[in-house]
Amino acid sequence: MSIAPHRLLGFAFASADLLMEVGPGEKITFAVGAAATLVGEAERSLIGHCWRDFVDPRDQELIEAVFVGVEGGARQGPVIARLVGAAPGGAAAFALSACKLPQNDGLISCALTRAAAPSIGAGEGGLHDRHSFETVTKSLFETARATGQDLELAFVEMAGLKGVEDGLPADQQAQLKARLAGALRAQSHGGAAAARLDEERFALVRATGENPDALTGRLSRLMGLVAEIGQVKFAARSLPLKGDVAPSQIVRAIRYALDDFIRDGMEGAPALSLQDAVSQSVRLTLEKADALGSAVAERRFNLVYQPVVSLKTGDLHHHEVLVRFGDDASPFPMIRMAEELDLIEGLDFAIAERAVGELTADPKLKLAVNVSGRTIISPSFPAAMKALIGGKKALKGRLVFEIT
């Protein structure tokens, strides 16, 4: 097969299992390589097909964002996307890099390599939620440190986005959200490291080396395909994930950085080095640990009861005991911190102690108390509970422990 020199230049930027070009109308105009093992068809049979025929619908917005975002003389990717079906012995997914040569009449040169299916977020369009994003970021940080790759955590705010979404009909709203997810994923590491933190705030992990203004400019251009997006104001800031920092420290630093960004927007996004962010997180952790320890020791928390009913009869079976610190907000951050700082056993016992007091005061109550896995394996907890409830026969059948 004869290959024109401009094609050799277009494919020189990467090695791949399959090399192809995508032209006007999203049609594949050229293909060479191991197409059969990647997509289950011979390379010649790909020509004339739309690239969407081979990409899982869940990842089509991602690939479109890569193609739309690539500029003349520049490269986009690699991102990992899932294939439609799988050829016998073939790949479940592929890594794609794309470049556009200025003299190549708008053709997009693509390099595709076999890949394992990516770990995509469970949110709309494959975006992570806040908590799964923390896990992904920690994993990427550890990998980058081992391989010497430079990554950064980018904070993106789209002021006015919620108003735009709320003003659209349901079908256009779904289209906007899908395009938004594809655009963000296309800018993230491997196409699988972007998160929606709230209605207008997002975060992603990506390679360093680009000004945040370039990121917002590209996102604005990608989202500009939806006319109403012109009402949205884009802003971004980045935090380099580089430094001699322990994984546990980076996770805590990222957590507090995300907390600040969610609460205060761009004013809360850190313009610091990773070491500065870690130092700030250590200070905040110590302050919160001291506050939590005092709250547990002084029993400064409230219990609320969640009814648990029988599915057969609808009758009340018991109440689950839930803890609240000062207000009705979710106690999850405090409980998570208690587990990390080895304060959870004291908190679990304090809650159980309060619950026993409630059961003693009201003989009609039946309560279930949550106990963490870390607490239940501690030798001191059973001994403390035995001392607390020993001899109280009235508690029999009314105190339940749920292992979290």
- Domain of residue 347, CATH code: 3.20.20.450
Residue 202 in any domain: the answer is: yes
Confidence class of residue 123 from pLDDT cuts 50, 70 and 90? confident
Residue 326 in any domain: the answer is: yes
Residue 142 in any domain: the answer is: yes
Q: Is the pTM of this model over 0.85?
A: no
Query: What is the tens place of the pLDDT at every residue in 379-403?
Result: 888 888 888 888 888 888 899 999 9
Q: Give me the mean pLDDT over the 304-317 stretch.
A: 90
pLDDT number for residue 329: 66
Residue 92 in any domain: the answer is: yes
Q: Give me the mean pLDDT over the 128-156 stretch.
A: 85
Same domain, 139 and 235: yes
Same domain, 138 and 276: yes
Residue 121 in any domain: the answer is: no
| Region of residue 307 (left: phi > 0; alpha: psi -120 to 50; beta: else) | beta
How far, in Å, CA of 348 to CA of 352, rounded? 6
pLDDT at 41 over 90: no
CATH number of the domain residue 18 falls in: 3.30.450.20
Q: Give me the mean pLDDT over the 354-365 stretch.
A: 91
The last residue of a domain, from among 84, 115, 146? 115
Q: Give me the mean pLDDT over the 125-149 stretch.
A: 84
pLDDT number for residue 195: 93
pLDDT number for residue 127: 93
How distant, in Å, are the alpha carbons of 22, 24, 44, 143, 232 from that of 135?
A: 35, 40, 42, 13, 30
Residue 216 in any domain: the answer is: yes
Number of domains into which the chain is organized: 3
pLDDT at 369 over 90: yes
pLDDT number for residue 32: 86
pLDDT number for residue 15: 65
CATH number of the domain residue 144 falls in: 3.30.70.270
The average confidence (pLDDT) of the chain is: 82
Same domain, 26 and 59: yes
How distant, in Å, are the alpha carbons of 40, 320, 397 from that of 312?
A: 51, 19, 21
The last residue of a domain, from among 58, 90, 115? 115
Q: Give me the mean pLDDT over the 308-333 stretch.
A: 84
Same domain, 303 and 266: no
pLDDT at 173 over 90: no
Same domain, 308 and 174: no
Same domain, 132 and 257: yes
Residue 36 belongs to what domain range?
Answer: 5-115
pLDDT at 29 over 50: yes
Contacts of 382 (CB under 8 A, 6+ apart): none
Same domain, 205 and 315: no
Confidence class of residue 84 from pLDDT cuts 50, 70 and 90? confident
Same domain, 262 and 304: no
pLDDT number for residue 308: 92
Residue 255 in any domain: the answer is: yes
pLDDT number for residue 36: 82
pLDDT number for residue 194: 93
pLDDT number for residue 12: 47
Q: First CA to last CA across the chain, in angstroms?
A: 62
Query: What is the tens place of the pLDDT at every residue in 242-272?
Result: 766 666 677 777 777 888 888 888 776 665 6
Same domain, 82 and 231: no
Same domain, 220 and 274: yes
Confidence class of residue 61 from pLDDT cuts 50, 70 and 90? very high
How far, in Å, CA of 99 to CA of 151, rounded? 21
Q: Give me the mean pLDDT over the 17-41 stretch.
A: 86
Same domain, 168 and 147: yes
Label residue 101 exposed, middle or buried (CB < 10 Å: 0-12, 13-18, 19+). middle
Same domain, 50 and 166: no
pLDDT number for residue 92: 85
pLDDT number for residue 13: 43
The last residue of a domain, from among 221, 253, 286? 286
Residue 292 in any domain: the answer is: no
Please report, as a single letter, which amino acid is at residue 203.
Answer: A
